[in-house]
Amino acid sequence: MSDASLPDILVLPGLPELAAERLEAGPWTLHAPHADGSPPSGISITGLVASGGTAVPNDLIDALPDLKIIAVHGVGYDKVDVAHARTKGVVVTNTPDVLSADVADLAVALTLSTLRRLPAAERWLRTGDWAAGGKFPLTRSATGLRYGILGLGRIGREIARRLEPFAGEIAWHSRNPDPQVPWRYCPDPVALAASVDVLIVAVPGGPATKGLVDARVLEALGSQGLLINIARGEVVDEAALIAALAESRLGGAGLDVFAHEPLVPTALLESDRCVLAPHIGSATLEARAAMAELVIANLRAVLADAPPPTPVP
C-alpha cells in the first residue's frame, strides 16, 4: 500500500541489511520488484536503490517514467547504464570515499595473508600438524617488496599510503598519468606486472576493464608474483588465473571478488596458494553505516530537486 503523500522508492534485491533498515526509517514508501524483476504496477516510482553488484537493466529504467534517481549503494556503478539513465533524465549516484579506507585495509590484509599463507598456516595448526612436530614451510616477507597498483583512484591511493611504510617500491598504472603522484608510473598493465612482486587490482569495473588482467599480465607477474584483487571479479581473466596457478606460473592470489560470484571455481577453493574472501571489502559496521547515510542523503536531495552529494561522473 502506498501513501500518496510520500515518495515511492523501489529497492532491488541484494541491498545489505543495515542499509535496508536505515531506508525503512526514511520519509518514503519502499517497494520491492516482482519475482520477474518488473516493478509494481500503478505506483509512481521516483527513486530506485540498488547495491553496487546488482544490475539495473535498461528495460527497468524505461518502465519507470517518473524515476528521478538511481542511488547505488557502493562505489562501483558499472551495473547501471549511466548514459541510458541520463537520456531519461535520471540522476545516478554512488557512495565513494566512505568505504575507501576499509577496502584499502582489506587489500593490505589480503596481501599480507597471501604472502605469509596465513589460512594454510592456521589449517596446519588446527589439524594437529604442528603438535605432531611438523614444520610449516617458509613464506615471504612483505618488507622491501615491489608493489604495483593497477588503478590509482581513491581506493588505490589509500592502498599505496598503507604500503609506504614497508614497501621497497610502489609503482602504478591508470589510464591517465598524474605527474603529481610520487610513485613510479608504468605505461601499461603488462609493464607494471613485469616490474613488481605484488600486483594489486583496484580499477573500476565495466566494459573498459573487463579482462584487463589477462594471461599476458599474469605471465609478466611471474612464478613468484602475487595477484590481489579487490576491484571486480571480471577485471581478471579467471580461467587464465586458474591456469597460471595450476601450472605454477603464478605464486599466489588474494581475492575478494570473483567473475561469477557468489560462485567460486573449485580450483580456487582447493588451492593452498589462494586466500579468498566473500566480497567483504566494505563490510564493516562503520563503512556500511556511512554508505547507507549517503544513499539516503542522495535520495533526499534529488527528490527535493536539489543537487545530490555524490553524483557519478
Report, as residue numbers or ranges, the catalytic residues: 232, 261, 279
- The grid cell for 267 is 580450483
Kindly give, in sequence order, each residue whose CB lies less than 8 Å from that of residue 100, ignoring residues fewer than 6 positions away. Answer: 75, 154, 155, 158
Total count of residues recorded for the chain: 313
Classify 255 as helix, strand or coil.
strand
Residue 172 near residue 150 (C-beta atoms within 8 A): yes
Dig out the grid coordinates for 226 from the structure. 602475487
Q: Are 133 and 285 in contact (CB under 8 A)?
A: no
- C-alpha distance from residue 143 to each of 32, 161, 252 (Å): 49, 14, 17
Sheet with 45-51, edge to edge strand ranges: 29-31, 8-11, 45-51, 69-73, 91-93
Question: Residue 299, by phi and psi: left (phi above 0), alpha (psi -120 to 50) or beta?
Answer: alpha
Rounded distance, CA 115 to CA 102, Å? 20
DSSP one-letter string for 164-216? TTT-SEEEEE-SS--TT--SEE-SSHHHHHHT-SEEEE----STTTTT-B-HH
C-alpha cell at 181: 603522484
- Chain centre distance of CA 51: 11
**197 CB contacts (<8 Å, ≥6 apart)?**
145, 146, 147, 224, 225, 226
